[in-house]
Amino acid sequence: MLEQYIRDKRKEKDLLLMTHIVLGYPSYDHSMRMVESMVEAGVDLMELQIPFSEPMADGSVILRANAEALKSGATVEKSLEMAEKITAAFDIPFLFMTYYNILYRNGVTHFVDNMKRIGIQGSIIPDLPPEEAEEYLAAMAKNELCPIHIYTPNTSEERLKFLGEKSEGFVYVTARKGVTGKDTAFDQDIADYLGKCRKATDLPLALGFGVKSREDMEFIKGKADIAVVGSESIRVMEEQGVKAVGGFIKSLIL
């Protein structure tokens, strides 16, 4: 379903845009308004991050957003409620991004069943390699939800294939090493690497980490199907308020 949506959209657009927010940062009210302005500006799909106290794969912007959200009282239950409201109000696919302990403590199968119930279409769990994910993958398959795995610049060809086979919907490609929120030099190396990713899977590719300008979008066009903007829109909200986010998103869309 998600894969088909991406393919249909790609007939209309050369490059889709996925954005990221941290639920409950700085408040759940803000989360709703962020989604609203992003969807209105023309975002094609969105990651909703459920805050975790140890976001190991995130850089400073998202890391602080997680901590602040928890400090202002974010919980898994409230995040699920907010996500349910969001999926009911907006007609694009929404994914969860979070860390495995959130699922584990909820009961993995129970959590995944809930995702289905509230209309979330897939999830990205950066600290859950397929080797540790038996229960998660089974529950996702049973509910026809999309587990999205991650390609990185030092993933072997064999493992790219393996991760592609374990993914549904699309594969998330990190443009570089490191954590979210730092600059990326979009150059020939990334183009070559995306070529390698293309060969490893038939699924659409989403490129993230360091995407923040129209120039970056131009570079990615034709090499990946989706560009992912994460930390930068949070930064825009922090510096200029929610109202500025729509304008920022519009400035990116090709």
Interaction site with other proteins (CB under 8 A) = 52-57, 59-60, 63-64, 67, 70, 75-76, 99-102, 104-106, 126-129, 131-132, 149-156, 159, 163, 174, 177-179
Measured CA to CA, the distance from residue 118 to residue 251 in angstroms comes to 31
Q: Measure the CA–CA gap between 243 and 33, rounded to whole angstroms.
A: 9
Nearer to other proteins, 36 or 114 (CB): 114
Contacts 24+ apart (CB under 8 A), 153-156: 153/177, 153/189, 153/193
Whether 144 is catalytic: no
132/144 with CB nearer other proteins: 132
Q: Torsion angle, CA of 171/20/50/103, rounded to 10 degrees?
A: 0
Q: And the tokens for 5?
A: 């949506």
Q: How far is the CB of 94 from other proteins (least distance, A)?
A: 20
Closest to other proteins by CB, 43 vs 171, is 171
| Catalytic residue check, 134 | no
Please, what is the minimum distance in Å from the beta carbon of residue 37 to other proteins? Answer: 28
> 94-115: b or e for each residue (b if 16 or more CB lie within 10 Å)?
bbbbbbbebbeebebbebbebb
Q: How far is the CB of 82 from other proteins (least distance, A)?
A: 14
Distance CA 107, CA 111 (A): 6
CB of 57 to other proteins, least distance (A): 5
**Residue 114 to residue 119: CA distance in whole angstroms:** 9
Nearer to other proteins, 175 or 245 (CB): 175
Choosing from 14, 36, 47, 131, the catalytic residue is: 47
Annotated catalytic residues are: 47, 58
